[in-house]
Each structure stands twice: as C-alpha cells, then as structure tokens.
C-alpha cells in the first residue's frame, strides 16, 4: 500500500525547505550575485542567514527574484514600484489566508449548530451610527 500523494501545503513546505547559497540562487534566477545583495539591502527579497552570516535563498525566494526581474526588465517597473507590488501581493496573500480561515470556522459553526444562522443579504448600503448625546452634556 503506497502513501497518499502530498497536498499542496506539503509540496510548498518541501520547496521552501530547499536552501541555496547566493551563487546558486543568482544562477537559478538569471542574475548576478551582486544584484541579489542589492535586492536584499533594499528589502525586495530577504533571504535567511546561515550561522556564519551567509545568505540562504529558498525556492520561493528564487521565484520572487524571477518576478522582480520580469517586472523590471519586461514591464519597466522601477525598484520602488516592485517593492510596493511585493508588499501588496503579500497583503493579498495574508487576507486570502484569513478569509479561508474564517470560511472554515463558519463551516464548522454551521455544522455544529445546524441551520440556526440567518444569512444577511449583501447590499451596497451604508450604515452610519451616531451616538446620542448624554443628558446634561453637550
């Protein structure tokens, strides 16, 4: 009997576990090692550090380096713009992860409690709340 195939999270974890020294990461990304050092200094890609201080790049870092190169060379985006794209991409990823967590919690709640939840229709209404002034005060 064979083991079940790994899911995407297992594959992602295995890929992230592979680490490359700067010369190998530079070659894989099609860049010069000095470019990787510059990107690290600018905060575009933040590799892990070995005990001796040397940079160690994951497969995910190499993919990010390739994206930086595409945005820079193919699309003409400057480094400040690329940094913002990376920040926004990370933010979207975090938000999508949180949505998945909340959907899972909601599904668990629904299965545990049955159908006593009442759906709220989605509208484009704006609700404004203004607290009442306290008596005797302004």
Q: What is the pLDDT of residues 48-68, one digit of tens each?
A: 999 999 999 999 999 999 999
Its domain, for residue 64, covers: 8-112
CATH number at 58 reads: 1.10.1660.10
39 Cβ partners below 8 Å, 6+ apart? 45, 65, 68
pTM above 0.95, yes or no: no
Domains in the chain, number = 1
Query: What's the rounded Cα separation, in Å, for the pair 69 and 15?
Result: 21
What integer pLDDT is reported at residue 17 of this predicted model?
75
Residue 59 lies in a domain: yes
Residue 64 lies in a domain: yes
Residue 129 lies in a domain: no
pLDDT band at 25 (very low <50, low <70, confident <90, very high): very high
């Amino acid at each position: 009997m064979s083991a079940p195939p790994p899911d995407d999270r297992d594959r992602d974890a295995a890929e992230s576990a592979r680490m490359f020294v700067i010369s190998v990461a530079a070659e894989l990304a099609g860049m010069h090692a000095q470019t990787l050092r510059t990107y690290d200094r600018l905060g575009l890609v933040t590799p892990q550090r070995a005990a001796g201080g040397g940079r160690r790049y994951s497969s995910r870092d190499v993919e990010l380096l390739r994206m930086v190169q595409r945005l820079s060379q193919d699309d003409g985006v400057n480094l400040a713009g690329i940094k913002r794209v990376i920040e926004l991409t990370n933010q979207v990823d975090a938000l999508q992860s949180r949505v998945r967590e909340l959907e899972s919690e909601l599904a668990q709640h629904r299965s545990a409690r049955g159908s006593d939840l009442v759906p709220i229709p989605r509208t484009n209404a704006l609700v404004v709340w203004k607290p009442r002034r306290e008596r005797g005060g302004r």
